[in-house]
Chain A
Amino acid sequence: MSNFLNQDFGSEDEEDDFNPAPQEESDAEDLKVKPTKKEHSGGDGADEQDDVKYPRDTHANEEDDAKDVEDDEEIENEVDDDDEEEDEDEEEDVASRPQKRMKRVANPFIEDEAGVDDEEDEADDEEDELAEYGMETHPDDLDALPQGTETDDRRHRQLDRQREIDASMDAEKQAQMLKERYGRNRAAATDSLVIPKRLLLPSVEDPSIWGGRCKPGKEKEVVYSIQKRIEERPAGSRNPIRIISAFERGNIMQGWFYCEARRQADVTEGLEAINFYYPSQKLTLVPVKEMPDLLRVQKSEELLPGGWIRIKRGKYMGDLAQIEEVETNGLNVTVRLVPRLDYGMNDDAFGAPAADAKRKRGAVNTVRPPQRLFSETEAKKKHAKYLSSTSGLGGKSWNYLNDNYVDGFLIKDMRVQHLNAKNVNPRLEEVTMFARGGEDGTANLDLASLAETLKNSTAEDSYQPGDPVEVYRGEQQGLIGRTVSTRGDIISLQVTEGELAGQTIDAPVRTLRKRFREGDHVKVIGGSRYQNELGMVVQVKDDTVTLLSDMSMQEITIFSKDLRLSAEMAADGQLGIYDVHDLVQLDAATVACVIKVDRESLRVIDQNGSIRNILPTQIANKIEPRRDAVATDRNGAEIRSGDTVREVYGEQRSGVIRHIHRSFLFLHNKAQAENAGISVVRTTNVVTVSARGGRPTGPDLTKMNPALAMQTPGGGAAMPPPRRGRDQLIGKTVTIRKGRYKGLVGIVRDADDSSAQVELYTSNKPVHIPREILTPKDPVSKQPLSMGRGRGGGGPGGRTPHTSSGGPGRDSWAGGRTPIAADSSRTPAWSGAAARTPAWGGLNGSRTPAWKNDGSRTANPYDGNRTAYGGVGSRTPSWTSGSKTPYDSSSGFDAFASGSRTPGWNAGGATGGRTPGWNSMSGGRDQRDFDDAPTPGGNYSAPTPGAYAAPTPGAPTPGGWAESAPTPGGAFSAPTPGGPSKRDYDAPTPAAFDAPTPAMGGMAATPGAGYGGNDGGPRYDDSPSP
Chain B
Amino acid sequence: MFFLKEETKVISMHPSYFGPNMREYLIGRLNEEEEGRCTGDHFVICVMDMVDIGEGRVMPGIGQAEYTIRYRAIIWKPFRGETVDAIVTSVKPTGIFTLAGPLSVFIARKNIPSDIKWEPNTVPPQYTDHADQVIEKGTSLRLKILGVKPDVAAINAIGTIKEDYLGPL
Contact = CB atoms under 8 A, between A and B. Distances in A.
Interface of A: 517-521, 536-539, 546, 548, 550, 553-555, 569, 670-671, 673, 693-694, 696-705, 708-709
Nearest to A709: B16
Interface stretch (B47-55, B104-112, B114-122, B123-131): B104-112
B95 A553 contact: yes
B56 to A, nearest CB: 11
Interface string B12-24: 1110110000000
Interface residues of B, number: 42
Contacts of A671: 89-90, 92, 97
Contact of A701 (B25, B108, B145): B25
Given A521-B147, A550-B156, 11 more contacts: A519-B80, A548-B108, A553-B95, A670-B97, A671-B89, A673-B94, A693-B153, A694-B37, A701-B12, A701-B14, A701-B26
A703 B152 contact: no
A548 B153 CA distance: 21
B94 A697 contact: no
B68 interface: no
Nearest to A534: B149
Nearest to A692: B153
Contacts, number: 92
Given A519-B146, A671-B92, A696-B29, A569 B152 contact: yes
Interface string B81-115: 00000000110111101000000101011110000
A713 to B, nearest CB: 16
A553 B106 contact: yes
A705 B29 contact: no
Contact of A704 (B16, B32, B148, B153): B16
Contact of B16 (A536, A548, A708): A708
B11 interface: yes
Contacts of B141: none
A539 B110 contact: yes
B151 interface: yes
Given A537-B147, A671-B90, A548 B106 contact: yes
A538 B12 contact: no
A548 B104 CA distance: 15
B61 interface: no
B28 A698 contact: yes
The 6 A-B pairs at the shortest CB distance, nearest first, are namely A519-B147, A705-B16, A519-B146, A538-B108, A701-B13, A696-B32
Interface of B: 11-14, 16-17, 25-26, 28-29, 32-33, 36-38, 64, 80, 89-90, 92-95, 97, 104, 106, 108-111, 145-153, 156, 158, 160
A555 B152 contact: no
Contacts of B160: 518, 538
Contact of B158 (A519, A569, A694): A519
B152 to A, nearest CB: 7
Contacts of B33: 694, 696
B94 A553 contact: yes
Given A519-B158, A701-B11, A701-B13, A693 B36 contact: yes
A545 to B, nearest CB: 11
A569 B17 contact: no
16 contacts: A536-B158, A537-B147, A538-B111, A538-B160, A548-B108, A553-B94, A555-B94, A555-B110, A671-B89, A693-B153, A694-B153, A697-B32, A698-B28, A700-B14, A704-B16, A709-B16
A822 B110 CA distance: 103
Contact of A554 (B89, B94, B150): B94
**Which residue, of A517, A694, A709, has the highest number of chain B Cβ atoms within 10 A?**
A694
Contacts of B26: 701
Contacts of B152: 569
Nearest to B33: A696
B32 A548 contact: no
A722 to B, nearest CB: 16
A702 B67 CA distance: 12
Contacts of A517: 147
B150 A569 contact: yes
A699 B32 CA distance: 10
Given A536-B158, A701-B11, A546 B149 contact: no
B110 A536 contact: no
Contacts of A693: 36, 38, 153
Contact of B14 (A518, A553, A555, A704): A704
A571 to B, nearest CB: 9
Nearest to A548: B108
B167 to A, nearest CB: 17
B43 to A, nearest CB: 11
Nearest to B38: A693
A536 B106 CA distance: 11
Contacts of A521: 147, 149
A670 B94 contact: no
Contacts of B146: 518-519, 536, 538
Contacts of A555: 94, 108-110
Contacts of B110: 538-539, 546, 555
Contacts of A569: 150-152
Nearest to B81: A519
A537 B93 CA distance: 18
Contacts of A670: 97, 104
Contacts of A538: 108, 110-111, 146, 158, 160
A521 B151 CA distance: 12
Contacts of B106: 548, 553
A705 B24 CA distance: 14
Contacts of A709: 16
B29 A698 contact: yes
A569 to B, nearest CB: 6
A1015 to B, nearest CB: 41
Contacts of B92: 553, 671, 673
Nearest to B146: A519
Contacts of A519: 80, 145-148, 158
A518 B147 contact: yes
The residue in B28, B64, B104, B108 that gathers the most chain A C-beta atoms within 10 A of its C-beta is B108
Interface centre among B14, B89, B93, B150 (most CB of A within 10 A): B14
B126 to A, nearest CB: 15
A760 B76 CA distance: 82
B147 A703 contact: no
Contacts of A705: 14, 16-17
Contacts of B95: 548, 553
